[in-house]
Chains A and B, each alone.
Chain A
């Protein structure tokens, strides 16, 4: 295994490329459940924020942040056309009846502002253990979705026809704006 700090910097693009692909999946109405190979009904939506970055000619970067519950994503799609990629996205994930909201950062896969389905809080000592475990399982579900989708994405990217099929589909989507 590579040195952790070196690997973090060298391969952070994988996370950003993945988030861009996630946005593509959402906008082109692809079935997340079948990608995850699960019987659960899993859907993803873009939540209330998305951050994109674009490298400019020199060493400087352009950062585009879109925030707000009903915000239009036109600036984001324009940035994609200019060569930007998603570095952070707020997602709404529905797994059957349960709704999860969270923000994921591409380079670190850190999860922030994670809201899990509501659980009845109890102060009784013997119920705390059950409550903790239930909360923990809720968090794990999101990581399972992310990890499975990420590895699925890498599987697709490392096959021979990626350039003709997968990449071309994303390019066509970007060109459609």
Chain B
């Protein structure tokens, strides 16, 4: 075997702390190495061309590139190796940037470590074998989880491109957080006026199947061929009969049902349509508060319903859908501010509310009909304090990140407050004003300059009721360097955001990663922001990190473009790094069958003897079977026992 070794300087990223020339020199002594060199940028076009040239010139059988993480550029170099006429699996990568040059400054140690990693890669490559992909069919259907603005955008784009779309929403109506907003920054246009038509498009699109009150329960399969179980909670209303007339809501006696859509700013009825523009515009029953379902007595809505749509006997159902790709667009929820901010009352003061609750007060379709009224006494507040960064950029409670859009909506809400109550005064307590979007800073300036909002730079230390109906907000003005105290009628908290409730569970179902705050992990933070590390699963909107509406819409479209690109290929290529059974060695005990998480191994009767067999399209290449088989009869291609042993030996026996 003839191996070529190429050591990348990555500018000064690697060469700064690794003697790349020496590593290349050391590599010459490794077994089977026929050519060894170093290069400024291996991933550049000249760098890749050099590989191709040298493979041809030296008749190389395999290539080792020592550069960045294989998670970054393995596909790049595999393509180069393929261009050189080799099988792309005759390639190994030594990670001497993320794992060497970037984590220490000791040049001797780094150079030595880099050389050893190259040696390990060479030893593995010596045991590599050419692998060949198979082609398989895909299902031209996509599952979108979450029907907020990002999910809606992804669903519509996919549907317009001719794909079938299954849109799953946990709540009774679609629209997500955007549907709850009164107006949007920086244009102060009506949220439901711009989202409404999109929601109608969803309901009317022939390619979109919408499941509300539904959650994804189980996902099996692989890119192009997922099988998804969707659990649909019973609405107790036959949607094919319900016309959305709302007669049931008027008569329902359970009038103290908490109103989720209105952020619990007022009660609603047990049977309800969350808001006038709701899609689907169908009534649903909240089974925890319906008197018929809890006490067995009532049944008024069934009597009143002109179409006989009410059905108390409905049961939850599980729907199975086969899809080729999945877009997660589950959005965000507000963090639990009440248990973290006792100094803001921890939820005990009725007039200290979240900004989402304030949106519902501002909205003409909200519980107050668009009049700003204090929850405690229904009075119009004349002085309103807005507090930014409640649960954002606060390391003391383990929330280091910026929630991104709070500065902007706070400015918007200050503007709207002045519009609603012209003789009001707003105060905004902020840490920094973050307004980097198009027309954003201009908008904030307007809030300050035209609307007279008083911006006070400083974190609020306490909110206390003064006993006369007002609240004293105490802070330190860090610009003036002195304490401030303002008496206000209403306090609005811009609460930090985190991944939507249950996002961790969904991530586990989808086999994708998530961080401590419930946000899903993208494949690459800059270059693959809508992809995940699980092929066929994409991200859109705030589920990946806090995002405002324009970014969510853009990412929705981005995810859709990725799905369309994926499913537009007539067939996909399978990854050949899968398990293989050596039939001779297999004793047919089926331990591999028992442990396989994908049911990818079956037992076949081959000439009277039971043998394990791998279903190539189903195997995901985890290698659990290979670690289980005592006689080593099943091996994971590209990660065989001998390849890993060669790496161990390369490290330990030198």
A associates with B: no
- Interface residues, chain B, with chain A CB atoms under 8 Å away: none
